[in-house]
């Protein structure tokens, strides 16, 4: 089955408000994430909203990276979508989450532009999981993660062609 792209959709919680509240730091993290992914940047557009929050997009040759932040909630909605075989979107997601200081994340990976039968009818499939990330250092001590889940997709629950194969982590 051919695949055109990979799209990671992340809800990042527990982010550092001092990081995700500043347009300069959010832009720097996303641009660096593009470098980590090994993709080519075409345009960068970031904005700060009143009273809080940053929105920004990096358009790349291989699709885009976007983020929208709510520093008052410690929350960032991150999307990293790349096409082609050479990009490393997972590394970019990991980088950005670490830089945001996220302590919890819920991720859905959408495989975009799947074509099963060469009939030019495209669909996508879905794998989703969540992780409690390693706590950041507190008072010089690094608190242990209460629970760290790694990706471990369950068997597909899809019911046929062009169905979403939802694979919740167990």
Count of C-beta atoms within a 10 Å radius of residue 75: 20
| Residue spans of beta strands (DSSP E) within the chain | 5-13, 41-48, 54-60, 63-70, 75-83, 104-115, 122-132, 137-138, 141-142
Q: Which of 119, 104, 56, 113 is nearest to 82 (CA)?
A: 113
31: contact with a copy of itself by CB under 8 A:
no
Regarding 52 and contact with a copy of itself (CB under 8 A), the answer is no
25 catalytic per annotation: no
Q: Which of 55, 66, 68, 106 is catalytic?
A: 68
CA atoms of 131 and 62, how far apart (whole Å):
27
- Among positions 63, 95, 97, 133, the unique one binding a copy of itself when judged by CB under 8 A: 63
Binding residues vs a copy of itself (CB under 8 A): 4-5, 7, 9, 11-14, 42-43, 45, 47, 49, 55-57, 59, 61, 63-64, 66, 68, 70, 73-75, 77, 79, 81, 83, 104, 106, 108, 110, 112-115, 120-124, 126, 128, 130, 157-159, 162-164, 166, 168, 170
């Amino acid at each position: 089955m051919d695949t055109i792209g990979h799209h990671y959709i992340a809800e990042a919680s527990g982010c550092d408000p001092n990081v995700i509240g500043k347009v300069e730091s959010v832009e720097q993290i996303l641009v660096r994430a593009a470098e980590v992914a090994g993709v080519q940047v075409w345009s960068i557009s970031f904005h700060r909203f009143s009273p809080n929050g940053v929105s920004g997009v990096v358009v790349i040759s291989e699709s885009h990276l976007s983020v929208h932040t709510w520093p008052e909630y410690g929350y960032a909605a991150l999307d990293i979508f790349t096409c082609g075989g050479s990009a490393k979107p997972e590394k970019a997601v990991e980088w950005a989450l670490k830089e945001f200081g996220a302590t919890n994340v819920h991720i859905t990976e959408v495989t975009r532009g799947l074509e099963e039968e060469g009939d030019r009818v495209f669909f996508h499939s879905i794998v989703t999981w969540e992780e409690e990330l390693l706590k950041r250092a507190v008072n010089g001590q690094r608190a242990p993660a209460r629970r760290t889940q790694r990706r471990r997709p369950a068997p597909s629950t899809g019911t046929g062609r062009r169905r979403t194969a939802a694979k919740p982590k167990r």
